[in-house]
Amino acid sequence: MKKLSKLFLAAILFLSAGGADVFGQSAALFDLFSYKGMDDFYNENPLSGANSFYSPILPGWYSDPSICTNGEGDYYLVTSTFTFFPGVPVFHSRDLVNWKQVGNVLERPSQLVNMIGQHVSGGIFAPAISYNPHNKTYYMITTNVGAGNFFVKTQDPAGDWSDPIRLPEVGGIDPSFFFDEDGKAYIVNNDEPDEKPEYSGHRAIRIQEFDVATDKTFGPRKVLVNKGVRPEEKPIWIEGPHMYKINGKYFLMSAEGGTGDWHSEVILRGDSPMGKFTPWEKNPILTQRSLKKDRPNPITCAGHADLVQTKEGEWWAVFLACRPIDNKFENLGRETFIIPVKWSEDGFPYMTQGDDLVPMILKREGVKREKTVTFGNFEVTDDFNAPTLGLEWMTLRTPGTDLYSLTDKKGFLSLKCAEVSSKERKTPAFIARRMQHHKFECSTRVSFAPADEKDAAGLLLFKDESHQYFLSLSKTGNQMFVSLQQFGRAADTELARKEIAGNPKAIDLKVISKGTSYDFYYAVKQGKWELLAKDIDAKYLSTATAGGFTGSVIGPYATRKSN
What domains lie within the chain, and their CATH numbers? 2-38+377-559 (2.60.120.200), 63-363 (2.115.10.20)
The answer to whether 236 touches 202, Cβ cutoff 8 Å, is yes
Percentages helix, strand, coil for the chain (3-state, rounded to 5) are 5, 45, 50
Tell me the C-alpha distance between 307 and 245, whole Å.
11
Element (H, E) at 72: none
- Does residue 245 carry a pLDDT above 80? yes
Per-residue confidence (pLDDT) for residue 25, from 0 to 100: 63
Phi-psi region of 193 (alpha: psi -120 to 50; beta: other; left: phi over 0): beta
Tell me the C-alpha distance between 133 and 68, whole Å.
11
Tell me the C-alpha distance between 540 and 171, whole Å.
35
Could you report the per-residue pLDDT of 27-45, keeping only the tens digit for each? 999 999 999 999 999 999 9
- Does residue 280 carry a pLDDT above 90? yes
The number of residues making up the chain comes to: 563
> What percent of the chain lies above the pLDDT cut of 90?
92
Q: How confident is the model at residue 20 (pLDDT cuts 50, 70, 90)?
A: very low
The residues, ordered by sequence, that sit 6+ positions from 281 with a Cβ below 8 Å of its Cβ are none
Could you report the per-residue pLDDT of 426-439, keeping only the tens digit for each? 999 999 999 999 99
> What percent of the chain lies above the pLDDT cut of 70?
95
For 496-552, give the DSSP string.
Answer: EEEEETT--SEEEEEEEEESSEEEEEEESSTT--EEEEEEEEGGGGSHHHH-SS---
Per-residue confidence (pLDDT) for residue 7, from 0 to 100: 41
Could you report the per-residue pLDDT of 496-522, keeping only the tens digit for each? 999 998 878 899 999 999 999 999 999
Query: What integer best gives the mean pLDDT of the chain?
Result: 94
List residues with catalytic annotation: 64, 233
Could you report the per-residue pLDDT of 47-75, keeping only the tens digit for each? 999 999 999 999 999 999 999 999 999 99
Element (H, E) at 424: none
User: Nearest-CA neighbor of 62 among 124, 136, 148, 151?
Assistant: 124
Residue 344: strand, helix, or coil? coil
What b/e sequence results for 482-517 when a residue is b if at least 16 CB atoms lie within 10 Å of its CB, and e otherwise? bbbbbbeeeebeebeeeebeeebbbbbbbbbbebbe
User: Nearest-CA neighbor of 68 among 214, 179, 211?
Assistant: 179
The answer to whether 560 touches 456, Cβ cutoff 8 Å, is yes
User: Nearest-CA neighbor of 361 among 91, 39, 40, 46?
Assistant: 46
User: Nearest-CA neighbor of 539 among 272, 261, 238, 332?
Assistant: 332
When pLDDT is averaged across residues 238-254 and rounded to a whole number, the result is 98
CA distances to 88, 481, 504 from 476, rounded to whole Å, are 41, 8, 15
Which phi and psi (to 5°) does residue 231 adopt? -60, -25
Half-sphere exposure of 258 (CA within 13 A, CB side): 11
Tell me the C-alpha distance between 293 and 299, whole Å.
10
The answer to whether 138 touches 129, Cβ cutoff 8 Å, is yes
pTM score, whole prediction: 0.94
- Does residue 562 carry a pLDDT above 80? no
Radius of gyration of the chain, Cα coordinates, nearest whole angstrom? 24
Which phi and psi (to 5°) does residue 341 adopt? -95, 135
CA torsion through residues 433, 428, 89, 358, sign: positive
Q: How confident is the model at residue 491 (pLDDT cuts 50, 70, 90)?
A: confident
When pLDDT is averaged across residues 124-141 and rounded to a whole number, the result is 98
Q: How confident is the model at residue 8 (pLDDT cuts 50, 70, 90)?
A: very low
The answer to whether 217 touches 211, Cβ cutoff 8 Å, is yes
Tell me the C-alpha distance between 172 and 561, whole Å.
37
Tell me the C-alpha distance between 266 and 289, whole Å.
13
